[in-house]
Structure 1
Amino acid sequence: MLAFLFYVILFVIVIAGLILAVPLLRRYLVTNQILKIFRKMLPQISQTEQEALDAGTVWWEGDLFSGKPDWKKLLAYPKPQLTAEEQAFLEGPVEQLCAMLDEWKITHELKDLPPEVWQFIKENGFFGLIIPKQYGGYGFSALAHSEVVMKIGSRSGTAAVTVMVPNSLGPAELLLHYGTEMQKEHYLPRLAKGLEVPCFALTSPEAGSDAGAMPDFGIVCRGEYQGKTDVLGMRVTWEKRYITLGPVATILGLAFKLYDPDRLLGKEEDLGITLALIPTNTPGVNIGRRHYPLNGAFQNGPNSGKEVFVPMDWIIGGQEGVGQGWRMLMNCLSVGRAISLPATSVGAAKLATRTSGAYSRVRIQFKTPIGYFEGVEEALGRIGGNTYMMDAARVMTAAAVDLGEKPSVASAIVKYHLTERGRQAINDAMDIHGGKGICIGPRNYLGRTYQQIPVSITVEGANILTRNMIIFGQGALRCHPYLLREVNAAHDKNPDSASMAFDEALIGHAKFTLRNTANSLVYALFGNHIKDNAPESATPETATYYRQLARFSASFACIADIGLMRLGGSLKRKERLSARLGDILSMLYLCSATLKRFEDDGRPDSDLPLLHWCMQDAIYRMQQAFDEFLANIPGHFTFVGLLRILVFPLGKRCKPPVDALTHEVARLMMVPGAVRDRLTAGIHVPTAEHEPMADLEQALRCVIECGAIEAKLREAVKLHKITDHGDGQIAQALQLNVITAEEASLLEKLKDLRSKVIKVDDFRPDLESETKDLRNAATGNSNTAMSAKGAINANYTISNDVTDEADGANIVSAGNSTKTTSRKKSNPVTEESKTIETIK
């Protein structure tokens, strides 16, 4: 009986082996049956979804999805470097622009950039960063673009948005990739020189994230244009909102659905989403009104038009661009997601790092710097660690774009995680600054950034959507080595080619899953002893992290495959499960960037606390995401239990950063030096007298210099040599020879600087600054004009003194921002503003 059973089993194995080994038999008996099931499981994919899936390229995130990342390949990428020309631009025009910016005046009084700043931006080519030199632009790298936006963003969110939008998703980039030569030659030089101000209108009131549902439409027709009749074109009707630079734009990029009911262009009626460039002075274009996004003074507003005639050659790419709009947008989206928003978020985080570290050392409570309290240390550690990792991801992703990649998944990762970590950094900074942070005014260097952070969270794909649907939902198909091939085969209408393609992908997929299932278990058990999981060049401090990432990469590939097989198309609707898988992929990417940064920086020992904090925090988060996914995936407890064994055979052993490590990071942020400078490199640090940040920087240096002197004072007080605990303490210490005259002078200087740092702005009872006098000056009262001029030149009075600053620039703003005409006009300098400029 046993012999018979043995032969039966052997026969089954041989038959199964033959079936699997012979492609024709395998396809007929196995693959085609699985293909039928797969087609039933596969969710419907709309045209816009398909174009989004096809857009961009797969870069390092594909390695992470493979379950076996090639660390040598990652580390072989050269360290990103700016050219001499790019560095000179940062040190010249960008620094000059930052010095011209006063975010309080911009947001509170002007509600716009001052006219001279607008002019400086245009004249110095800030709108032409990405436009090639042949068209009059700079042709800068993605890294340089990122550095420019980051530096400006650390000074003024208004100016950063104004500069980044023309260089992000908009007319310039779309023209570069898809415009006709005539369109390029006409518009690109004008955009580069600031002769045209661009905007791009995509979002409609009823179609935000669901752009495929946009109600805006155009009808192909013949009409009259510039005196010519029978011109082929479209009558376009639209209503858009949230359009940055819209109120002041001279050229409007517009997305709409195009229809051809009279078949003037061919056989199809529904031609798809199309993009056109429309001068805003075109009859019927309604533009100029403004939104007011959370005290942000950047120009943003709605626009609309009804049956506006648009010639066919205004379509981006000409007539060949008809219906190609969504593909164009998806392929160009990487710049906005990968460059601009991460750059502004990193600028905000670096601002939080530099100011919070200094403030925590200068501000004294209970006779102790507040940064020495463990609660404040915790917040400081988060700020510093997040900033280190954010900057690493920003630089690595920009470098990928410069290598020719359009990393659609990586761009979604950095957009979501850098904006969220930027928000965390600013929130922590506000907690540390306390009352100084929440009282808005010219001396508050955090308040406006705090108010405007939700803008970056919302735009270019809201973060809830990005995390729950895009990172893994798009990443699974794009990064998986076989899944997209299986999906494409399932959509193939030819039975023979579909069967062959699906069979090849399925066999590869099966081997891929088996390998990662085995590796997930083996790496979890023995990963710390597998040398191949870390590059040979790794130091002992970093080798363990490479191995942990290799282990979790294999576990991620395994769990993602099993989850896809278990849930099929319903995973698209299980957004929270998808989000957790996306979190794992994101942490793998962010950790890779952090290790790459440490290597590129030359492995400085002084940065090790930052590296350890980032890696331990992210790996712990990754572990938690695995745990939450396994706790919520539907299935019998045996099935879930087996999955848990594959990932955590020894239990959850990763721990978050310990308090001692957070303490080290916090202390690094409170001391001037190379670590602090590297951590905040690239932001604008004001040096002009009476700049709040300049006072803070000076106070930090002074408090360090006075450390030993203050220790002598404390000892003298302890021994009851000094009995004065008030303003006379320094004088008494000098009189008793506890300190020298030079030391007394230094302590007095520190006392004055501390006072400046901790004081906050106050205003008249009606919360108005002194601009009324300047309004009188603008109407011709010479005495008031002289008084106003003095107020402009006077230093700002802080804390308990009444504010006497006035520049009247809000009059200029009023002249510009109240226009609601139906077409865009140039920004005229009003008679009032001319008078103000004369006063200045």
Structure 2
Amino acid sequence: MDLDLPESALAVREGVAAVAAKYDHAYWSRCEEEHRFPQEVFDDLGAGGWFGLCVPEEYGGGGQGLLELAVANETLCASGGVAGTFFYVTTPGFGAMTLTRHGTEEQKQRILPGLAEGRVQFCFALTEPDAGSNAIEITTAARPDGDDFLVRGQKIWISNVENADWMVVVTRTTPAAEAKDELGSRTAGFTLFLVDVREAVAAGTLSYTPIPKMGSNILHSSQVFLDDVRVPSGNVIGEVDQGFSVLWDVLNPERILAASGGIGTADAALRIATDYAKERVVFGRPIGANQGLQFPLAQLKAKTELGRLMTYRAAWLFDQGRPCGNEANIAKLTGAQVGWEAANQAFQTLGGMAYSKEYPVERIFRDARIAKNIPVAEELILAHIGTQMLGLPRSY
């Protein structure tokens, strides 16, 4: 469907599609089978400046916004590389968006040019074993030590550590109980840091263990152990103890980019399903002529376009500096659901052949399912909609 996107976003779609066209489903499936990072795609996108879209021009980037970034991610996923959504969430999302809005001038000059050129990668460390969806309860602590901070704690399900140069780490510089008493709010006392991953690994203060998982094996998701990682005070993002406002400017773009990945996943799954339904002949006619198959696919096409509109709206609001939390949550909910539903219906359309690795449906099916749980479970989004938008009482 032709949406009224700005010329900048249309140019992004065309440019990323040209890169993605070099890498077919078989390429992505090989990377998944081999648990191999798709370095060739990453290098191609980096060389074209497609990771630096939202980096300001003075630091070598494209000077665009989250809308263009969401379109780039959607386009890559729609090409069949649905796990490639991590490319855009981890480095441009966690890295470029965060530093552009909240980084110091020194941080921007030091990091953004390399990111814009595709030479620098990021990861983001928030989730902890005992504080998954309840981020208020994280216990990873940063304590002052001279002009530095020492960071100690454990994170889990951290994606792309093995490739990352920098990790954005969410810590407590004031424990939750003390923050409520001394700073007036349990959401106070958070501080975000830039951790030099390679330096900390070499020093023996940061280690990680990959978690065996069902899909998206083109990069690891790991447990991360921080054992008094030394971080210069110049690597604080925003202000000490005031990191929660920075955190929301990380989480909302993450949700919007996750939504765009779900929409791209739905596009990829629907294309596979409809192509097969046109070609597969049973009882003398293409199976796509049977309304039992045609109607579910048509319904998912409608849901995909609605999800696309909400995703673009949420990204546009963010770029305008306007509140976008409700829209980001609805977009993420819708994108994840339609990505999974489309993958599931593609599986049903292909019948037994969907179970074969001859077709990419089984890979897309596995990759699409996790989106209903990350970066935030859909139950929490529904709770947000119920309490914040409908005014219903809280259950937690």
Q: Name the amino acid aligned to 1:396.
A: R
SS of equivalent residue, structure 1 residue 289: strand
Displacement of 1:378: 3.1
Indicate conservation of the 8 Å contact 1:247/1:289, yes or no: no
Tell me how far 1:119 sits from its aligned partner: 2.7
In structure 2, the residue matched to 1:472 is 386
Q: Pick one of 31, 40, 58 that aligns with 1:106.
A: 31
Q: What is the distance in 2 between the residues matched to 1:404 and 1:249?
A: 29
User: Following superposition of structure 1 onto structure 2, how do residues 290-369 of structure 1 map, counting pairs within 5 Å?
Assistant: 290-299=210-219, 300-317=221-238, 321-338=239-256, 340-369=257-286
| Corresponding position of 2:67 | 143
- String of CA shifts for 1:614-644, please: whole Å, max 9, x gaps: xxxxxxxxxxxxxxxxxxxxxxxxxxxxxxx
Asked whether the equivalents of residues 171 and 277 of structure 1 are also in contact (C-alpha less than 8 Å), the reply is no
1:159 and 2:76 correspond: no
Q: Secondary structure at the match of 1:194?
A: coil
Matched, 1:289 2:209: yes
Asked if 2 retains the 8 angstrom alpha-carbon contact of 1:129 and 1:140, the reply is: yes
Contact 1:142 1:398 in 2 (8 A): yes
Cα distance in 2, alignment partners of residues 94 and 209 from structure 1: 35
| Cross-structure match for 1:252 | 167
Q: Distance in 2 between matches of 1:309 and 1:352?
A: 45
Match of 1:572 in 2: 394
Mapping of residues 213-612 of structure 1, within 5 Å? 213-222=137-146, 232-259=147-174, 272-280=189-197, 281-282=199-200, 283-287=203-207, 289-299=209-219, 300-317=221-238, 321-338=239-256, 340-441=257-358, 444-467=359-382, 469-476=383-390, 571-573=393-395
Aligned residue for 2:179? Answer: none
Q: Is the Cα contact below 8 Å between 1:379 and 1:432 reproduced in 2? A: no
Summarize deviations over 1:688-743 as a string: whole Å, max 9, x none.
Answer: xxxxxxxxxxxxxxxxxxxxxxxxxxxxxxxxxxxxxxxxxxxxxxxxxxxxxxxx
Q: Tell me the TM-score normalised to structure 2 length.
A: 0.88
Shift of residue 290 of structure 1?
Answer: 2.3
Q: Deviations 1:94-138 (Å, cap 9, x if unpaired)? A: 4224413511111012x1234433432333333322111111111
Which letter maps to 1:211? A
* Distance verdict in 2 for CA 1:404–1:273, change over 3 Å: closer
Q: 1:470 to 1:153 in 2, by over 3 A?
A: same
Taking a change above 3 Å as real, the CA distance of residues 205 and 277 of structure 1, as seen in their structure-2 partners, is same
Residue pairs, 1:628-643, within 5 angstroms: none
Change (3 A) 1:216 1:312: same
| Contact kept in structure 1, 2:77 and 2:268, CA below 8 Å | no
User: 2:303 & 2:174 partners in 1: Cα distance?
Assistant: 48
Q: Give me the whole-angstrom Cα distance separating, in 2, the residues matched to 1:375 and 1:117.
A: 38
The structural deviation recorded for 1:464 is: 1.6
Give me the whole-angstrom Cα distance separating, in 1, the residues matched to 2:386 and 2:362.
34
| Paired letter, 2:22 | A
Q: Is the 8 A contact 2:128 2:154 kept in 1?
A: yes
Which SS does the other structure have where 2:245 is aligned?
helix
How far is the alpha carbon of 1:288 from its aligned partner? Answer: 5.0
Q: 1:371–1:94: structure 2 CA closer, same or farther, 3 Å change rule?
A: closer
Partner of 2:7: 82
Q: 1:99 to 1:181 in 2, by over 3 A?
A: same
**SS of the residue 2:149 aligns to:** strand
Residue aligned with 2:230, SS: strand
Q: Per-residue displacement from partner, 1:51-109 (whole Å, max 9, x unpaired)?
A: xxxxxxxxxxxxxxxxxxxxxxxxxxx943232xx544443454224413511111012
Name the structure 2 match of 1:201: 125
- 1:305 counterpart letter in structure 2: L
Q: Report the 3-state secondary structure (helix = DSSP H, G, I; strand = E; otherwise coil) of the residue aligned with 2:277.
A: helix
- SS at the partner of 2:173? strand
2:100 pairs with 1:183? no
Q: How does 1:649-798 map to 2 (within 5 A)?
A: none
Residue 91 of structure 1 corresponds to 14
* Equivalenced residues, count: 379
Q: Secondary structure at the match of 2:194?
A: strand
- Gaps of at least 5 residues in structure 1 are 1-77, 223-231, 261-266, 477-559, 565-570, 576-840
**Does the 8 A contact of 1:376 with 1:432 survive in 2?**
yes
Q: Whose strand fraction is larger, Structure 1's or Structure 2's?
A: 2
**Hey, what does 2:50 align to over in structure 1?**
126
Paired AA for residue 379 in structure 2: I
* Map of 1:669 onto structure 2: none
Once the two structures are TM-superposed, the CA of residue 180 in structure 1 deviates from its matched residue by 1.4
CA shift, 1:272, in A, is 0.8
| Distance apart, 1:323 and its partner CA | 0.7
Q: Is 2:69–2:88's contact at 8 Å kept on the other side of the alignment?
A: no
Q: Secondary structure at the match of 2:368?
A: helix
CA separation of 1:133 and 1:156: change in aligned 2, threshold 3 A: same
Aligned equivalents of 2:316, 2:309: Cα separation in 1: 11
Q: Structure 1 residues 302 and 98, CA, compared in 2 at 3 Å: closer, same or farther?
A: farther
Distance 1:453 1:116, change over 3 A: closer
Contact 1:82 1:144 in 2 (8 A): no
Q: 2:178 maps to which residue? A: none
Separation in 2, partners of 1:404, 1:448 = 37
Alpha-carbon separation, structure 1, partners of 2:137 and 2:312: 35
| Cα deviation digits, residues 639-675 of structure 1 (max 9, x gap) | xxxxxxxxxxxxxxxxxxxxxxxxxxxxxxxxxxxxx
Give the SS at the match of 2:345. helix
Higher gyration radius (CA) = 1
1:192–1:436 distance in 2 versus 1, CA, 3 Å: same
**2: CA distance between counterparts of 1:360 and 1:460?**
33
Structure 1 letter corresponding to 2:30: K
Report the Cα offset of residue 370 of structure 1: 1.2
Q: Quick one: distance in 1 between partners of 2:69 and 2:284?
A: 45
One-letter amino acid of the structure 2 residue matched with residue 164 of structure 1: V
AA in 2 matched with 1:81: P
3-state SS in 2 of match to 1:274: strand
Q: Which residue of 2 aligns with 1:44?
A: none
Preserved CA contact (<8 Å) 2:52 2:115: yes
Distance change >3 Å, CA 450–CA 326, structure 1 → 2: same
With over 3 angstroms needed to count, the CA separation of the structure-2 counterparts of 1:198 and 1:88, relative to structure 1, is same
Q: Any gaps of 5 or more consecutive residues in structure 2?
A: 176-181
Contact 1:345 1:418 in 2 (8 A): yes
Distance change (3 Å), C-alpha of 1:276 and 1:158: same
**Residues of 1 paired with 2:156 and 2:365: CA distance?**
23
Deviation at 1:258, TM superposition (A): 0.9
Checking the alignment, whether the CA contact within 8 Å between 2:90 and 2:121 is kept in structure 1 is: no
Shift of 1:384: 2.3
Q: Secondary structure at the match of 2:189?
A: strand
Distance in 2 (alpha carbons) for counterparts of 1:393 and 1:212: 28
Question: Residue type of the partner of 1:103?
Answer: W
In the TM superposition, what is the alpha-carbon distance from 1:336 to its structure 2 partner?
Answer: 1.5
